C-alpha cells in the first residue's frame, strides 16, 4: 500500500507502540467500503472501537463495530439497511519464524514491520455479517421485483464477479439467518 493511499488512515504504528493498552476508533461510512473492490456495502454508519493490549511481540486486539450498513436488494436493487453489532478478536504476533500459521484468530507480521493496517480486519469483521439473503423480504419490505423468487437468484448473486473470494465467506454459508 502506498504511503498516501486512503488506507493510510487505518495504519497502526507498531515500532512506536509501548506495552499496555491502546485505543483507536473509526467512523466508517460508505467511502470506507468503497476502498474495497469486492465490497457489496454501498453506505454505512458504523462506529468501530479497537482496543489493543500489547505485551512484547503479542498484540491482543478486540474490535467492536456498531451501526448500520446498506446493501442493494439482490432482486430489485432497492437499498436496504441492516444493523450490525460485532465483536471480533485477533491476536497479532510480530515474529519472523515461519512456524506460526495465519488463521482467522492469529495474524503473523514480520518483527520489523513499521505499521499494521487494520482496514482489512475491520472490513472482514463487518462483511461476515453480510445477510445471506440480501433481499427486501429480509428487511420486511415489499420487493419491487416482479420476478418470482428462486434460490437460483441468490446463487447468481453470490457468485457474481463482485463477490469476495475471501475464504471466510464460506463460514457464512453455515450461518442461519432467521
Q: Between the CA of residue 13 and those of 95, 96, 127, 173, what are the distances in Å?
A: 16, 18, 25, 35
Per-residue mark of binding to Zn ion, 20-59 (x: CB under 5 A): ----------------------------------------
To the nearest whole angstrom, how small is the minimum distance from the Cβ of residue 77 to Zn ion?
A: 7
Nearest to Zn ion of 44, 73 (CB atom): 73
CA 37, CA 161: separation in Å to the nearest integer? Answer: 10
Per-residue mark of binding to Zn ion, 141-170 (x: CB under 5 A): --x---------------------------
CA 98, CA 12: separation in Å to the nearest integer? Answer: 23
The answer to whether 75 contacts Zn ion (rule: CB under 5 A) is yes
* CA atoms within 13 Å, Cβ hemisphere of 163: 17
Nearest to Zn ion of 58, 133 (CB atom): 133
Nearest to Zn ion of 14, 74 (CB atom): 74
The answer to whether 80 contacts Zn ion (rule: CB under 5 A) is no
C-alpha cell at 169: 465467506
Which pairing describes strands 106-109 and 115-117: parallel, antiparallel, or unpaired? unpaired
* CA atoms within 13 Å, Cβ hemisphere of 98: 0
Q: Between the CA of residue 27 and those of 68, 101, 166, what are the distances in Å?
A: 11, 31, 24
Q: Which of residues 126-145 bind Zn ion (CB under 5 A)?
A: 136, 143
Among 48, 59, 63, 73, binds Zn ion (CB under 5 A): 73
Nearest to Zn ion of 91, 132 (CB atom): 132
CA 140, CA 19: separation in Å to the nearest integer? Answer: 48
Among 17, 38, 57, 76, binds Zn ion (CB under 5 A): 76
Which pairing describes strands 79-94 and 106-109: parallel, antiparallel, or unpaired? parallel
Nearest to Zn ion of 72, 164 (CB atom): 72
Nearest to Zn ion of 54, 75 (CB atom): 75
Residues that bind Zn ion (CB under 5 A): 73, 75-76, 78, 136, 143
Amino acid at each position: 500500500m502506498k504511503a498516501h493511499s486512503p488506507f493510510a488512515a487505518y495504519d497502526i504504528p507498531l515500532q512506536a507502540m509501548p506495552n499496555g493498552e491502546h485505543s483507536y476508533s473509526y467512523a466508517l461510512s460508505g467511502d470506507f467500503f468503497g476502498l474495497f473492490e469486492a465490497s457489496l456495502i454501498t453506505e454505512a454508519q458504523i462506529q468501530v472501537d479497537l482496543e489493543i493490549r500489547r505485551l512484547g511481540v503479542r498484540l491482543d486486539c478486540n474490535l467492536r463495530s456498531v451501526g448500520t450498513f446498506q446493501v442493494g436488494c439482490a432482486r430489485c436493487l432497492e437499498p436496504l439497511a441492516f444493523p450490525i453489532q460485532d465483536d471480533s478478536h485477533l491476536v497479532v504476533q510480530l515474529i519472523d519464524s515461519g512456524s506460526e500459521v495465519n488463521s482467522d484468530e492469529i495474524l503473523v507480521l514480520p518483527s520489523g514491520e513499521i505499521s499494521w493496517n487494520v482496514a482489512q480486519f475491520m472490513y472482514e469483521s463487518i462483511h461476515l455479517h453480510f445477510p445471506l439473503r440480501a433481499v427486501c423480504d429480509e428487511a420486511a419490505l415489499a420487493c419491487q421485483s416482479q420476478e418470482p423468487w428462486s434460490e437460483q437468484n441468490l446463487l447468481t448473486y453470490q457468485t457474481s464477479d463482485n463477490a469476495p473470494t475471501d475464504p471466510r465467506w464460506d463460514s457464512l454459508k453455515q450461518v442461519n439467518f432467521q
